[in-house]
Structure 1
Amino acid sequence: MTDLPLVLLHAFPFDARMWDPVRAPLAERVRLITPDQRGLGRSPLPETEREPSLADAAHDVVALLDRLGLDRVVLGGCSMGGYLALAVLRLAPERVGGLVLIDTTATADDPDAVLRRLAVAERVEAEGVSGWFAEDNLPKLLSEKTRTERPEIAETVRGLIDAQPPSGVAWAARAMRVRPDSVELLRGRDVPALVIVGEHDAITPLDAANTMVGALADATLVVLPEAGHLTPLEDPAGVVEAILEWYPKVCSNGAHA
């Protein structure tokens, strides 16, 4: 087992159970940590009057590393989890020995996306999450092949979304809409990175992955065929293989020193 732990941060609006398909094979080779983000899954939403910000969620991650006594980790995330990983990199770069960026982007939301996030937050607060959110988003979250040939994955996604607390979903939507652009952040950091993207990712497509790869000094790109935006659920074997093939490179670069 390698001596640099792997922390994986989940997508929106899910919890750490989205990593279940990759959990066992990864845990055989690395120390794996998969927290629920604030307000989602079993993680409470702190009472605060502060405006939602991924910077506060980044403090949560650093506090978790402190509690576990971990000076440095490989930090990974899918979609919103990738945004949060970049927020941690901005807050505490010395804690990040490597990045695994899965179906995510380093760019900020454009004005239309900002309005959509706010509309989601307001509707969730008014109507809850169950039912409509999954149905509205499944065509974007999963590839057509996944939806038509593997309906059990769509059911898993529905179940995970429907289980999330509306307050946490609304908080996360508002936090994502104000996140800063992180392309220059990546350009300024000499940290080894693995970028994974589904071939048919409709939310953060290959162009977004290529932007991150182009900004990073040491990046490996893996495109998983026939998968959409949720590659850990759609192609868990591909995600595991990509991570485990790349991981020794992180250690050989001295990232664990």
Structure 2
Amino acid sequence: MATTAPRYTKVAGVHVAYKVAGSGSTDLLVIPDGLIPIEAMETEPSFARFLRRLSGSFRVITYDRRGMGLSDPVTTSDPPTLEQWVEDAEAVLSEVGSDRAAILAMAEGTFVAALLAAMRPERVSHLVLVNGTPGVTAEPFRHWGVAANTLELLDETIEQQWGEVDFGIPLFAPSAVGDASYREWIKGAAQRSLSPATANAVFDVLFRSDVRDVLPSIRAPTLVIHRSGNRYLTSEHGKYLVEHIPGAIYREVEGADHVPYLGDHGPILDAVEDFLAGSRRIVDTDRFLTTVLFTDIVGSTEHAARLGDHGWRLLLDDHNAIVRRALADYGGREIDTAGDGFLATFDGPARAIHCARAVCAAVRGLGIEIRAAVHTGECERVEGKIMGIAVHTGARLASLAGSGEVVASHTVKDLVAGSGIAFDDRGLHELRGVPGEWRIYAVAESDFVG
């Protein structure tokens, strides 16, 4: 397997390490389970064989998410977000000249893969999820296997025994029980990937993310492969993915190892190769997952009456400048403005929340307050505008925000797990014109800027 030495690309000043192997006509981005850094992949014989076979048919791209392996570290005060890990993946693809790639994700790698496929349908040709999951620790997923309990034990060992995973091997790698070399490899891989402090910083986003609400927005042809005897994440996880990703195909293969490259990985790779060779579908790239931010000035009518037309116009100009400056700072895109309100989109919810908080703080200097709402959902691009139920949902959420408050949907809360953003539960609400009941959250005052 001809493999390049590790290389780096930069994402907003952060170095992200990657490797490329093989020279096939199809690019395949591999996102492994858990903590395995790129430097460790080729030192475990079974993993090396797994990648070697893939690189015989595809150009295989692997990378270390920020905070892991050879990529720049993160801190507990500035933990990574799922959307940043998606940005890392997209930056690596761009760096190696891959405009469109297939993605093979293992287990928790599903979180990044699903979000990338939903947000960037034009860049993802196919999606393969092996022993994947929409969420490990949330209900009802935590009861489908022993992963949630195992990860809680792992979390408890971070400070004193980081990397000691002997207790988990019978559960996620039963064929390696008694294999001292594998035990030393997995321990070394975890320790090389993350220090204890960094493990604390990334643990929530790595293992406690929940992407169930993203799944219906995936348009890429999708194959879900699950081992029938997997006790770590049982087949309910794979079947849930298939039931919620439009057009997804389910393939169950024999075996008890949760780790895909252990045991007989031939049937898994056969399925991958057949799927990528034979599956072709036109993907509607005008439908995509995005985060919408709505803001408006609280008591705008009263302010306008008090200031008069000229004074109100001057205040609006100052307000608009603050909003546009914040959008530029946090990577937002202005879609529409009407009166005193803004609609903007973002590649992920964490930066939309940070932007909203920054605007809330800044406009107080003008003697006004705004309210804001953040929601992530599927939209359609029509003549430069965005449309869809996600836009209506965001607008209805904004009407529930109080003065100086940022509210968010449950989808947003799930996607920013591990980001350090805290929320107060505001209960269930009906949103006019939007089906169902929605659980609403407000960004906690203790976490608020200003």
TM range (shorter): 0.7 to 0.9
Residue 162 of structure 1 and its aligned partner are, at CA, apart by 4.3
The residue correspondences of 1:22-171 to structure 2 (distance < 5 A) are: 22-46=50-74, 49-107=77-135, 109-110=137-138, 120-121=154-155, 123-124=157-158, 126-130=159-163, 132=164, 134-143=165-174, 146-148=175-177, 153-166=182-195, 167-171=197-201
User: Corresponding residue for 2:322?
Assistant: none
1:173 to 184, 196, 203: 203
Distance (whole Å) between structure 2 residues aligned to residue 107 and residue 39 of structure 1: 21
1:198 to 208, 218, 227: 227
Distance change in 2, residues 1:238/1:164 (3 Å):
same
Aligned residue for 2:94, secondary structure, equals helix
How many residues are treated as equivalent by the alignment? 249
Q: Kindly indicate whether the alpha-carbon contact (under 8 Å) linking 2:93 and 2:99 is maintained by their aligned counterparts in 1.
A: yes
Distance (whole Å) between structure 2 residues aligned to residue 10 and residue 169 of structure 1: 17
RMSD (Å), alpha carbons: 3.0
Does residue 220 of structure 1 match 2:246? no
Identical-pair percentage: 18
Using the size of structure 1 for normalisation, the TM-score is: 0.82
2:237 to 182, 187, 208: 208
Q: Kindly indicate whether the alpha-carbon contact (under 8 Å) linking 2:118 and 2:219 is maintained by their aligned counterparts in 1.
A: no
Distance (whole Å) between structure 2 residues aligned to residue 227 and residue 21 of structure 1: 19
Q: Kindly indicate whether the alpha-carbon contact (under 8 Å) linking 1:71 and 1:95 is maintained by their aligned counterparts in 2.
A: yes
Distance change in 2, residues 1:174/1:75 (3 Å):
same
In structure 1, the gaps of 5 or more residues are: none
Distance (whole Å) between structure 2 residues aligned to residue 48 and residue 59 of structure 1: 20
Distance (whole Å) between structure 2 residues aligned to residue 151 and residue 120 of structure 1: 20
Distance change in 2, residues 1:244/1:197 (3 Å):
same
Distance (whole Å) between structure 2 residues aligned to residue 9 and residue 233 of structure 1: 16
Greater CA radius of gyration, 1 or 2?
2
Answer with 170-179 or 221-230: which moved more: 170-179
Using the size of structure 2 for normalisation, the TM-score is: 0.49
Distance change in 2, residues 1:201/1:94 (3 Å):
same
In structure 2, the gaps of 5 or more residues are: 1-22, 286-450
Distance (whole Å) between structure 1 residues aligned to residue 75 and residue 184 of structure 2: 32
Q: Kindly indicate whether the alpha-carbon contact (under 8 Å) linking 1:9 and 1:37 is maintained by their aligned counterparts in 2.
A: no
User: Corresponding residue for 1:13?
Assistant: 35
Q: Kindly indicate whether the alpha-carbon contact (under 8 Å) linking 1:199 and 1:228 is maintained by their aligned counterparts in 2.
A: no
Distance (whole Å) between structure 2 residues aligned to residue 6 and residue 205 of structure 1: 26
Aligned residue for 1:93, secondary structure, equals coil
Distance (whole Å) between structure 2 residues aligned to residue 34 and residue 158 of structure 1: 20
More helix by share: 1
Distance (whole Å) between structure 2 residues aligned to residue 10 and residue 177 of structure 1: 13
Does residue 236 of structure 1 match 2:269? no
More strand by share: 2
Higher relative contact order (CA 8 A, sep 6+): 1
